[in-house]
Structure 1
Amino acid sequence: MVTQEFEQRTRRLIDSLKSTCADYGLGNDGNEFKIITQVFLYKFLNDKFTFEAKKIRPELSQALTWEQAMAGLSADELEMLQLQLGPDTPRLKPEHFLAHLFGRQNEPEFAKLFDDTLRDIAITNNDIFAVKTDGGAKVTLFDRVSEYISDPSKRDSFCRALINKLVAFSFERIFTQKYDFYAALFEYLIKDYNSNSGGKYAEYYTPHSVAQIMAAILVPEKVRGKIRNVSCYDPSAGSGTLLMNIAHAIGEQRCSIYSQDISQKSSSLLRLNLILNNLVHSIPNIIQGNTMLHPYHREGKALKKFDYIVSNPPFKMDFSDFRNALDSNEHRERFFAGVPSIPKQAVDKMAIYQLFLQHIIHSLKPGGKAAVVVPTGFITTQSGIDKAIRKHLVDNKMLAGVVSMPSNIFATTGTNVSILFIDAANKEDVVLIDASNLGTKVKDGKNQKTLLSEVEEDHIIATFNDKREVEDFSKVVSYEELAAKNYSLSAGQYFEVRIEYSDLTPEQFSDKLQGFSENLEKLFSLSSNLELQILSKVKSLEFK
């Protein structure tokens, strides 16, 4: 009940912040998401600090206003409190508190005070919360929020309106809840800002059903709680849905998250997602940059190898600007199956997922596991890079299986997708599942999407993990069978062709045969007449 209540109140807070942005001309503005996410994060970090500080010094809870009690602590007491805070808790000073700003909102130049406060929090916590670029620069936690308002005369009132929205309630009581609350909250927070309308480097929000299936197959129930000190990587992380799901399956404190994504917006959203999901310790591993051209994570000079990799990479993208740089000796080992050529037309249709898939295979530890969303065409194409990748996986016995998903599982793209499961330790049979007939079609705005029920998700997961054969749904095949079928990974090609028999009396059989004979005689007669007509036409042709 607490979770539901706070989810509703949080949604109202997010809606009210968006309403304030709209009132000041920033509705649907390109900067709106920066304001919403940063102001929301400021609120969240305040309440997180409050929660942790009261645990360390319970007397703060007894004070009339805990902020005043904090301000009354000596310098030594404040320093000791900061030292006792956990590594995922922000370090805040009394002048950073929301209540402090709220009490000073009517002062002149309040917008400057608001911005200075956020910037000081960012600088104070730079080592904890900064995201790096592949060039080594640090992207701090907060911008100067008021400067997104172009009219300086309106900045004070704008920041005042934001502060008044933030004091409505506290997150303190929800910090003991598990991540389900935050998953729903994060999706609602970014729902208007994480779509395929972002141009060349568009972000696609991976549906929870896909993320949950990937995590549950990579980390089955029987091994949960037993895995520790492992690395989880996504080379095209977006806002982090896949990473959050696998981290929760393993245990937030049992794994370290690594990522890279070319989009600044995605990296900022991923940082927020990590903060909400108790994974602050992994923020230093979040890199904003071009994974294909400048892969960042290394051990010495060699690329780092990972225990788990999850990815929903972009399928098609124009990378002609740096394509030739990838087709060089420096990248030859990583892109073992080749680099797509630059087409004369439709350059934006270059199959960049082929590069991501090869990069993932190259980045796996011996015995590592990966789950990658691919266009379903990948699993059957009989030539080129796709087939070369499949051949590599089969010949080196590093496949766990494939799940072909229903159409429109992503509302924003009509491309049919499959999930490719790679397992360098699986030397036995491979599971192929055709889940294309599952799900319920629903409208999502102007688009149609398919939703899987929990029962259907569980059916896919259990069938895969148990390596069960289900008629017209799943098939368990050997690597030899895959090679014999030209390395096809489509379950349908391995299903048995069944012949249905009917019990007929001799009279019924004779009647059916007579009917077939009469139909054939009619067709033969029509064919004969057509042949004569064609022959007559040919003979009547003259050369003029």
Structure 2
Amino acid sequence: MAEKNTADIGFEKQIWDAACVLRGNMDASEYKGVVLGLIFLKYISDRFEDKYNQLVADGDGFEEDRDEYTSEGIFFVPAGARWSDVSAKAHDPEIGQVIDDAMRAIEKENARLKDILPKNFARPELDKRRLGEVVDLFTNIKMIEHGSEKDILGRTYEYCLSMFAEQEGKRGGEFFTPSCVVRTLVEVLQPFKGRVYDPCCGSGGMFVQSAKFVENHSGNINDISIYGQDSNPTTWKLAQMNLAIRGIEPDLGKYAADTFLDDQHPTMRADYIMANPPFNLSNWGAEQLKDDVRWQYGMPPASNANFAWLQHMIYHLAPGGRMGMVLANGSLSSQSGGEGDIRKNIVNADLVDCIIAMPTQLFYTTQIPVSLWFISKRKKRAGKTLFIDARKMGVMVSRKLRELTDGTKEEYKNEDGTSKNDIKKIADTYNAYVNGTLEDVKGFCAVVDTEKIAEQDYILTPGRYVGVEEQEDDGEPFEEKMARLTSELSDLFKQSHKLEAEIKEKLGAIGYEV
């Protein structure tokens, strides 16, 4: 299933398949930390030992100097915690304790990793023989030989996250947003420079894709600053490791915390916000937050946090900031609990820049149809909103899962033979809208004045505005076509009656009356 979601997954799948021998009777949520922890340990050891060997070759005696490593963003791995030390004891009965001790030693030497790394390898339910076998496999694969070490380990980490999300079902959605959804947000927002914020960051996918965007467009990753938080302690740690592998230093708050009740960045104003908050969250703390300064457009209902998330993010936008978020489709039209009034106030404040209706089956964890909301504090097209109906886009990569194409897969072609690239089509449509060159396309996109949205009672469902896709005229006059079609239908009815009689006759012959 998920193995089609990465451009080149040979190595990633090899690691995943190897790690799966560890599972035994453990839940996916439990052995997730084991698998990702081993990937992380192997990665930082490979990077450390690569630099270590270089310093030894230099002959100046600096190979044990911490500063030689930290100055280049390399984690210092002390003697006894290096992969070579771990692999030498792969078949010792206490291999689990060896790995736990290595994790503790690394945390002690690297303040950024304090209380982040998993230290549960010694527990009885983890088969030590199998653990040793996986350590052997990792030992035989020098990860930095498979391309850029950050890229390959990042891809492996992301691949394993997607597989865990699939296996954990609904719970998997707490830490993983499909990369095609994230990349659509990123390609529209184009976060080149400034503060990037995600108030429910999960495993950090929004930040990873932002960094990739900057690198792919020859920008400097140091031009963006990362801020976020997450309420789940395990997920918060996954994000820290995910970003550390990619050389990104985030501020995810001092600890895992509830965004509404314990905002870790109360004064921060972001240039870009990207988020996929929990859909239709109830019991989010409304009673304690009735007079909160964030509810500038109305008090969100206690039964649903959709508009609490939306307003929290608007509050944290810088004066010229822009944001993109994933919301359940109900938020486009709901009138309950005052949501219609909140939506009206946000539209009248001229904040809604673009709404995209997404296709179904993009998520491992839910079939709820979703939309992307793009909000801007300083819209380039004042008084106008772009609506895109992307529900027909994407390709099925399995029986259950759809993916927006990105132009990298040869098997998905347009009619003219070019590779399908849904993400680029959406981003190009948005850019043309911003530049004032976009023409409405029936059934796909429309630029709409705020007055027209008001006429629709501030409902933001794209289908209301883009209309129905025009059908190509086949040249057959309407009257002739109807006569032909009704004649064909009559013939089909006659055939069905004949088949019905034959079936009844055969059933009657063996003693069954219908």
Give the TM interval when normalised to the shorter protein: 0.7 to 0.9
**Equivalent of residue 121 in structure 2, options 128, 145, 152:** 145
**Equivalent of residue 17 in structure 2, options 3, 10, 15:** 15
Q: CA deviation at 1:10?
A: 4.2
**Equivalent of residue 188 in structure 1, options 154, 159, 163:** 159
Q: Do structure 1's residue 460 and structure 2's residue 426 form an aligned pair?
A: yes
Q: CA deviation at 1:487?
A: 1.9
**Equivalent of residue 273 in structure 2, options 309, 315, 329:** 309
Q: Do structure 1's residue 358 and structure 2's residue 360 form an aligned pair?
A: no
CA displacement, residues 484-529 of structure 1 (integer Å, 9 cap, x when unaligned)? 3322222332246899999999xx89x99xxxxxxxxxxxxxxxxx
1:346 is matched with which residue? none
State how far apart, in whole Å, the 2-side matches of 1:161 and 1:178 are.
25
**Equivalent of residue 324 in structure 1, options 287, 311, 319:** 287
TM-score by length of 2: 0.77
**SS at structure 2 position matched to 1:237:** coil
Amino acid of the structure 2 residue aligned with 1:494: Y
State how far apart, in whole Å, the 1-side matches of 2:467 and 2:120 are.
64
Q: Which residues of 2 match residues 170-181 of structure 1 at below 5 A?
A: 170-174=142-146, 176=148, 179=151, 181=152
State how far apart, in whole Å, the 2-side matches of 1:140 and 1:437 are.
41
CA displacement, residues 455-498 of structure 1 (integer Å, 9 cap, x when unaligned)? 22222111111112222210012233323332222233224689
Q: Do structure 1's residue 401 and structure 2's residue 354 form an aligned pair?
A: yes
Segments of structure 2 that go 5 or more residues without pairing to the other structure are 1-5, 215-219, 407-420, 484-514
Amino acid of the structure 2 residue aligned with 1:323: A
Amino acid of the structure 2 residue aligned with 1:260: Q
- Size of the aligned set, in residue pairs, is 449
1:165 is matched with which residue? 137
1:483–1:403: structure 2 CA closer, same or farther, 3 Å change rule? same
RMSD: 3.5
8 A Cα contact 2:15 2:156, kept in partner: no
Amino acid of the structure 1 residue aligned with 2:286: R
**SS at structure 1 position matched to 2:226:** strand
State how far apart, in whole Å, the 1-side matches of 2:19 and 2:361 are.
32
Q: Do structure 1's residue 59 and structure 2's residue 57 form an aligned pair?
A: yes
Amino acid of the structure 2 residue aligned with 1:59: A
Q: Do structure 1's residue 128 and structure 2's residue 83 form an aligned pair?
A: no
8 A Cα contact 2:116 2:240, kept in partner: no
Amino acid of the structure 1 residue aligned with 2:20: K
Q: CA deviation at 1:294?
A: 0.9
8 A Cα contact 2:170 2:366, kept in partner: no
**Equivalent of residue 225 in structure 2, options 235, 245, 256:** 256
State how far apart, in whole Å, the 1-side matches of 2:233 and 2:169 are.
12
Q: Which residues of 2 match residues 65-464 of structure 1 at below 5 A?
A: 74=61, 77-78=62-63, 80=65, 82-83=67-68, 85-86=70-71, 88-104=73-89, 109-125=94-110, 127-130=111-114, 139-146=115-122, 148-150=123-125, 157=129, 160-174=132-146, 176=148, 179=151, 181-182=152-153, 184-195=155-166, 197=168, 203=174, 205-219=176-190, 227-228=192-193, 230-250=194-214, 251-279=220-248, 281-282=249-250, 285=253, 287-298=255-266, 303-319=267-283, 322-327=285-290, 329=291, 331-334=292-295, 336-341=297-302, 350-382=303-335, 384-426=337-379, 427-428=381-382, 429-441=384-396, 443-444=398-399, 448-454=400-406, 455-464=421-430
8 A Cα contact 1:305 1:364, kept in partner: yes
**SS at structure 2 position matched to 1:374:** strand
State how far apart, in whole Å, the 2-side matches of 1:178 and 1:470 are.
41
2:505 is matched with which residue? none
Q: Radius of gyration: which is bigger?
A: 1
Amino acid of the structure 1 residue aligned with 2:121: V
**SS at structure 2 position matched to 1:47:** helix
Percentage of identical aligned residues: 21
8 A Cα contact 1:271 1:286, kept in partner: no
8 A Cα contact 2:116 2:237, kept in partner: no
Q: Do structure 1's residue 474 and structure 2's residue 448 form an aligned pair?
A: no
State how far apart, in whole Å, the 1-side matches of 2:239 and 2:402 are.
26
CA displacement, residues 238-260 of structure 1 (integer Å, 9 cap, x when unaligned)? 11222211232235322121111
8 A Cα contact 2:52 2:63, kept in partner: no
